[in-house]
Amino acid sequence: MLKGLNTPHLLLASPNPMRMIQNLNHLLAQQELAKLFAELDRNVVDLFKLGMSHYNFAVSLPNSERRQKISRLYLGQLDADWPATDTRRTDAKSGS
């Protein structure tokens, strides 16, 4: 974890962290932008791992646990797909 990037996390300051980083492009040095991009990459990887954890748990459940299986598969998809779905929601709200 980078110094100064702890909870509440800077990337939570915007519903679209990528757009926020692009807006900071003219204010921050390239080294600082690289730190933000690296942290964003770590967040995406961690969300994907969480999604895979939900998926692996779901497929290990017996079919008799159908509700739990569907719930975990849904959570896995939601976690693994978060960056893409979040960007689309943000773009739809802004009209771009």
pLDDT tens column, 43-59: 888 888 888 898 899 99
**74: nearest Cα among 89, 88, 57, 90:** 57
Q: What is the pLDDT of residues 71-96, one digit of tens each?
A: 999 988 887 775 554 443 344 344 43
> Percent of the chain, pLDDT > 90?
16
| pLDDT at residue 67 in the model | 94
| Average pLDDT of every residue of the chain | 76
DSSP state of 9: P
